[in-house]
Amino acid sequence: MPVNQTVPNAKNQLPKKNFALQTEDFIKMMVTQLQNQDPMEPAKNQELLAQMSQIGQLQSQTTLTDSLKSMVLQNNLGAAGNLIGKSVQGVDSTGKAINGLVNSVRVQDGNVFLELDSGKTLDMTKVLSIADASPAATPAAATPPA
């Protein structure tokens, strides 16, 4: 058996987590760097200011990204809400065609889903066509006798 062979479901595999560094992590690293610097050659003020500026920019970008994600979700939710009562066609995650009348809308894991009268769920991003629901056959208006 080769040494580099991987075994599925091995216990020593890392769990899937979000290992993204946060602003606080960068500040902790900067403080650690300052605490462990060579006293004969301390960090220059210019370098510290540049690092602090980069930390501020990172925080601003993170806040902007979060705000944009929230706005996109709200926009998608509003657009999906306008589909209630409409007939939609789309595909599921396997590519199989789905169609039906939209009864309700829900958000799960940051994605918008349409709940159809067929009992199926359609991801908003997988909608291929939208149409007004076909009106029920209405009886013709009675004509008054002449």
What's residue 136's pLDDT? 56
Q: Using a cut of 0.75, tell me whether the model's pTM lies above it.
A: no
Please name the CATH architecture into which domain 83-132 falls.
Answer: Roll (2.30)
Per-residue pLDDT tens digits for 83-100: 999 999 999 989 999 999
Task: Compute the distance between CA of residue 63 and CA of residue 71 in angstroms, rounded to an integer.
Answer: 12
Would you report the helix, strand and coil content of the chain in percent, each value rounded to 5? 35, 25, 40
